[in-house]
């Protein structure tokens, strides 16, 4: 498992801003979210309990009071920096009161998969992600694991990563909530487990050449893959946000994303 590196993420956001003017609004907003999450992580490292119970499901370990404490700061950022619909949702959430806000966050923890497209889930993911990543960093990966859901928290994968190993690269999936990475077969659909490589097309683009769409013609799901054997400077969780154009392309060609990213793309 890889521990968080917030300075690296924020630095990558700034770097991509210079290279991708078409994604500047999305990246600028994401940079503000990363700065908030960095503050949350720093607070956790100072004040969180020193031990984590691996026998307790990770979602049950996430602190609702911690998320509620940081919610006003997030609502303020979204209202000032976010796109119109999210800003409107932030104003609505700010007006519903603490009891309803708590229900919203609890609903996300209880069933993340079905709530993936609900606008309010954006706020829950931003708030719980630093805590989930912090808890995951203190838990060991299972010695043998081959499923497509995260072995630590049970969430769907957000993207795939090819990391250098020997003379080639080994495929990993990365969790959409706690960002845990685990090995996964290269020729296998994480959604329906299709194994026929003829039904698992990979679409590459010229720029950035290290990013591609890994699709399945059986279930029509896809996720993006980041090849660190080609470009070792990629920070996948940031580049995933920056490559919105690939998500639009995949949707136009009849594919649906296995898991929408933090910003709903």
Dump pLDDT digits (tens) for 58-91: 999 999 999 999 999 999 999 999 999 999 999 9
Q: Which of 207, 221, 209, 205 is nearest to 253 (CA)?
A: 221
DSSP assignment string, 7-54 = HHHHHHHHHHHHH-GGGHHHHHHHHHHHHHHHHHHHHHHHHS-S---T
The pLDDT of residue 44 is 92
Note down pLDDT in tens along the chain; length 265 residues.
Answer: 444 588 999 999 999 998 888 788 999 999 999 999 999 999 998 987 776 677 788 999 999 999 999 999 999 999 999 999 999 999 999 999 999 999 999 989 887 554 445 677 899 999 999 999 999 999 999 999 999 999 999 999 999 999 998 878 899 999 999 999 999 999 999 999 999 999 999 998 777 789 999 999 999 999 999 999 999 999 999 999 999 989 999 999 999 999 999 998 8
Instruction: Report how far residue 72's alpha carbon sits from residue 39's, in angstroms, rounded to the nearest whole number.
Output: 14
Q: What is the pLDDT of residue 52?
A: 66
Q: Which residues contact 256 (CB under 8 A, 6 or more apart)?
A: 220, 221, 222
Phi, psi torsion values for 158, nearest 5 degrees: -95, -40
Q: Among all chains, which residue has been given the structure tokens 């920070």? A: 235
**Distance from C-alpha of 87 to C-alpha of 71, rounded to nearest angstrom:** 14
pLDDT tens across 92-103, in order? 999 999 999 999
Are residues 206 and 199 in contact, defined by beta-carbon separation less than 8 angstroms?
Answer: no
Which pTM value belongs to this model? Answer: 0.92
Strand ranges (DSSP E) for the chain?
157-165, 168-175, 181-183, 202-204, 211-215, 221-227, 256-257
Q: How many helices (H) and strands (E) does the chain have?
A: 9, 7
Give the separation between CA 224 and CA 211, rounded to whole angstroms.
7
The sign of the CA dihedral 221, 222, 223, 229 is positive
């Amino acid at each position: 498992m890889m521990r968080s590196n917030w300075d690296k993420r924020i630095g990558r956001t700034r770097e991509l801003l210079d290279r991708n003017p078409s994604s500047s609004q999305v990246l600028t907003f994401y940079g503000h979210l990363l700065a908030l999450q960095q503050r949350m992580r720093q607070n956790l490292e100072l004040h969180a309990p020193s031990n984590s119970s691996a026998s307790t499901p990770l979602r049950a370990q996430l602190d609702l009071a911690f998320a509620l404490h940081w919610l006003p700061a997030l609502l303020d950022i979204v209202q000032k920096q976010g796109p119109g619909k999210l800003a409107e949702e932030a104003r609505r959430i700010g007006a519903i009161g603490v009891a309803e806000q708590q229900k919203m966050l609890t609903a996300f923890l209880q069933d993340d998969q079905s709530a993936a497209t609900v606008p309010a889930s954006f706020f829950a993911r931003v708030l719980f992600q630093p805590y989930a990543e912090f808890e995951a960093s203190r838990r060991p990966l299972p010695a043998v694991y081959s499923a497509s859901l995260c072995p630590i928290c049970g969430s769907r994968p957000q993207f795939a990563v090819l990391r250098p190993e020997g003379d080639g690269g080994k495929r990993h999936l990365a969790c959409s909530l706690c960002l845990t990475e685990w090995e996964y077969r290269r020729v296998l659909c994480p959604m329906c487990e299709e194994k026929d490589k003829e039904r698992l097309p990979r679409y590459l683009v010229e720029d950035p050449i290290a990013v591609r769409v890994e699709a399945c013609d059986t279930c029509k799901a896809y996720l993006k893959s980041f090849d660190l054997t080609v470009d070792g400077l990629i920070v996948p969780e940031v580049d995933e946000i920056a490559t919105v154009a690939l998500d639009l392309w995949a949707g136009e060609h009849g594919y649906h994303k296995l898991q929408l990213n933090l910003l709903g793309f």
